[in-house]
Amino acid sequence: MTEPAPAPPSVRVAVGALLALAVLLVASAVLGLVGQDAVVDRFLAAQPDLDRAAITRSLVLGQVLYLVLGLAAGVGALALLRRRSWGRWLAVGAALFLGLRTLLSTLQAGGTTVLTLLVLVLCVASVASLLARTTRDWLPATG
């Protein structure tokens, strides 16, 4: 019985970046949902004419989206480690969507933060590593 080939560097980079994204997104979503009242109060203090229910709904939907994307990145990373090609495509989709959404919201806001830059770098590293030839060749043809 032969040992399976070890994961190439592109797979290890992709898995590390995806797991980092998963941790960041899930932690951000959980903290955002737990501290939801404080965030809504800050929005209302800055713009008192806004509707509290609309702000709360928008905040919850955004945090649920981050939770889903974080879980998709984590599941994709674990599936990739198990040499499942569907995990690669799940992770590519999650990282591309998150990267584009982050880039668009950064452009709309007119500025960036350290966290935004970190998310963008992790998304680019993930997608580049997932689309690398060495990653594709390492995965079995089916699975």
pTM: 0.90
pLDDT tens for residues 35-79?
A: 999 988 998 898 889 899 998 999 999 999 999 999 999 999 999
What integer is the mean pLDDT of 74-94? 96
Residues in the chain, total: 143
Beta-carbon contacts of 96 under 8 Å, excluding residues fewer than 6 positions away, are 123, 127
- Give the Cβ contact number of residue 61 at 10 Å: 10
Tell me the two tokens of residue 38: 């404080």
Report which DSSP code applies to 80.
Answer: H
